[in-house]
Amino acid sequence: MTDATSQSGPVLAADGTPLKKSLARALRLQKTRALMLIAPLLVFVLISFVFPIASMLFRSVENSIVMETLPLTVEELQNWDADSGQLPEEALYAAFIADMVVAIDAKKHTRLGTRLNYEETGMSSLFRKSGRKIKKLDPATDGPFKDKLIDIDKKWGDVTTWAVIKTHSVKITNGYFLNAIDMQRTPDGAQAQPEDKRILIKLFQRTLFMSLMITASCIMLGYPVAWLLANLPARTANILMILVLLPFWTSLLVRTSAWKVMLQQQGVINEVLVWIGLVADDARLVMINNQFGTIVAMTHILLPFMILPMYSVMQTIQPTYLRAAKSMGATNWTAFWRVYFPLSVPGIGAGSILVFILAIGYYITPEIVGGTKGVFISNRIAYHISSSLNWGLAAALGTILLGVVLLLYWCYDKIVGIDNVKLG
């Protein structure tokens, strides 16, 4: 012992290397080993989850279709001033015919028409109909094209048609995002959509409103239950816990179909109400296919996610605090409100964010019990992906939704810590 301390110079490890170096090597080894264990999963998640979502998000700004389908036209359009009110020159028409002939061969012109149709109705049929006639033209010999094209469809003699093409000929566009907030990319910059097309802002508001309602009702229903579970003797609490965990473990579709059974006009609740005479047979309550149905069903589905975090926080609050407060003269209410409630706030926060995050992106339940009035923004995204095929707009809506969720996730991480998530 005395030898080691009296020795001058760096402390050496058993094999003669300086201890510091040896420790650093051991640490490095440990780090590499940990990373090697993590690597397979990390790579798997990055490739099959993070990358697909990132590339999906990129679709919300990606807009190379115009430039790829009509390269010559786009080049010519740079020389044309849409504000002049004048039709473009012959050169542009010639370039357009040349582009279209190539595009028609590759059967790409209808896709371009569909793309432009999102911005200006009528473009899809314009491209499809004109395409059939342009096919017969030969770009080398049949010029001049300006009058011929206007003969084919007089929309080609309309300044707005060309202005629309010019506006959307950029590679990276903000058009989808503008659409997502009920605006439009026009030659004169961003402008509001016409009244009758403004539905998305309303839908976002409704999604937020309903998610808040669901979160609020989950707090109202979850708090008493969590309190009771945390304050009962462990044996009783464990038995009652089953009543919370069973819905948690039951298939989402089972619970959704159960609510459909309960809430229908010929459903269980209405039948019971009619039977005991609270509601007349011809005035059955409408509880499904509207906001009420969605809120009730989703509150039920998400309630366990509120109760479990609240319960784990409340378990740590000593009941003696309440007794101490009361012994010092606090009324029941004061003792609860000034002592117990502040201590339970972290649980409420954790549960609320969790429920809100889950609620805001829900798809299945609103689709089945929401009808048209009780659907969420996610149903709109699904509609654009599978029915209208406007993938850019779907991606833009998805990006906004994801942004909101990630912001909340960040808050959750700050408040609760992602390591502290507990299940069951």
Partner 1 sequence: MAALTPISRKPMSLVLPTVAAAGGFFGLFIGTSNGSGTLGVLIGALMAVAGAALYIFVLKNENLGKWLTIALYGALGFWFGGIAAAIIGLLYGWFIHWFSYWLYEGRYRARLLPYLTPKQVLWHYTFRVICGAIFTFLITPILVVMPLSFNAQDFFTFTPEMLRLDPAGYSLKHYQDFFTNNEWQRSFKNSLIIAPIATVISVSLGTLAAIGLSQSHVPGRRAIMAIMISPMIVPLIISATGMFFFYSQIGNWMEGTLGLNKTFVGYVKVVLAHAVLGIPFVIITVTATLVGFDRSLTRAAANMGANPVTTFFRVQMPLILPGVISGGLFAFITSFDEVVVVLFVGSASQKTLPWQMFTGLREQISPTILAVATILVGISILLLATVEMLRRRSERLRGMSPT
**Interaction residues for partner 1, span 222-261 (CB under 8 A):** 224-225, 228, 234, 240, 242-247, 249-261
149 vs 262, beta carbon nearer partner 1: 262
What b/e string do you get for 88-122 counting C-beta neighbours within 10 Å, with b at 16 or more? beeebbbbbbbbbbbbbeeebbebbbbbbbbbbee
Contact pick of 381, 393, 396, 416 for partner 1 (by CB under 8 A) = 381
| DSSP 8-state class, residue 168 | T
Give min distance, CB of 182 to partner 1, in A: 20
Contacts for 72-79 with beta carbons within 8 Å, 24 or more apart?
72/96, 72/98, 72/99, 73/99, 73/165, 74/169, 77/162, 77/165, 77/166, 77/169
Beta bridge partners of 172: 62
User: Closest approach of Cβ 92 to partner 1, in Å?
Assistant: 34
Among the residue ranges 136-144, 152-160, 217-225, 338-346, the one whose residues contact partner 1 (CB under 8 A): 217-225
Residue 402 binding partner 1, by CB under 8 A = yes
Residue of the chain from 108, 159, 413, 415 that contacts partner 1 (CB under 8 A): 413
Residue type for 405, please? V
Binding-site size, partner 1 (CB under 8 A): 93
Per-residue CA distances from 233 to 116, 170, 230, 307, 314 (Å): 66, 67, 8, 17, 14
293 near 287, Cβ under 8 Å?
Answer: yes
Calculate the alpha carbon distances from 67 to 100, 162, 164, 324, 392 in Å: 12, 14, 13, 74, 16
Among 150, 203, 385, 389, binds partner 1 (CB under 8 A): 385
159 or 382, CB closer to partner 1? 382
Q: How many other CB atoms are found less than 10 A from the CB of residue 64?
A: 12
Q: Build a one-symbol-per-residue string for 89-128: x at contacts with partner 1 by CB under 8 A, - elsewhere.
A: ----------------------------------------
User: How far, in Å, CA of 416 to CA of 349, rounded?
Assistant: 8
- Grouping H, G, I as helix, E, B as strand and the rest as coil, residue 34 is helix
Q: How far is the CB of 394 from partner 1 (least distance, A)?
A: 6
Task: Tell whether residue 209 is a contact of partner 1 (CB under 8 A).
Answer: no
Q: What is the DSSP string of 50-100?
A: IHHHHHHHHTTTB--HHHHHSHHHHHHHTT--GGG-PPPPHHHHHHHHHHH
Q: Rounded to the nearest whole angstrom, what is the least distance from the CB of residue 176 to partner 1 in the complex?
A: 14
Using CB under 8 A, pick the residue from 100, 126, 395, 396 that binds partner 1: 395
Site for partner 1, residues 15 to 54, rule: CB under 8 A = 27, 30-31, 33-38, 40-42, 44-46, 48-54
Nearer to partner 1, 192 or 421 (CB): 421
Give me the least distance between CB of 302 and partner 1, in Å please.
Answer: 11
Q: How far is the CB of 78 from partner 1 (least distance, A)?
A: 32
- 179 in contact with partner 1 (CB under 8 A): no
The stretch among 8-16, 128-136, 151-159, 387-395 that binds partner 1 (CB under 8 A) is 387-395
**Closest distance of CB 222 from partner 1, Å:** 8
CA distance 76 to 166: 10
Of 302, 118, 357, 273, the residue nearest 127 (C-alpha):
118
Interacting residue with partner 1 among 85, 194, 277, 342 (CB under 8 A): 277
- Both tokens of 61, joined, read 């700004």
- 3-state SS class at 192: strand
Smallest gap, in angstroms, from Cβ of residue 321 to partner 1?
16
Which of 34, 172 has the CB closer to partner 1? 34
Q: C-beta of 307: minimal distance to partner 1 in Å?
A: 9
Is residue 216 involved in binding partner 1 (CB under 8 A)?
no
Residue 414 DSSP code: H
Nearer to partner 1, 7 or 205 (CB): 205
Four-residue CA torsion sign, 355, 358, 364, 368:
positive
Site for partner 1 contains 367 (CB under 8 A): yes
Q: At what angle do helices 291-314 and 341-360 cross, to 10 degrees?
A: 140
**Cβ closest to partner 1, residue 57 vs residue 343:** 57
**DSSP helix/strand/coil, 148:** helix
Nearer to partner 1, 11 or 261 (CB): 261
* Site residues (CB under 8 A) for partner 1, limited to 305-364: 332, 357, 360-364
CB nearer to partner 1: give 190 or 246.
246
**Is 82 or 322 the residue whose CB approaches partner 1 more closely?**
322
Helices (H), 264-290: 268-275
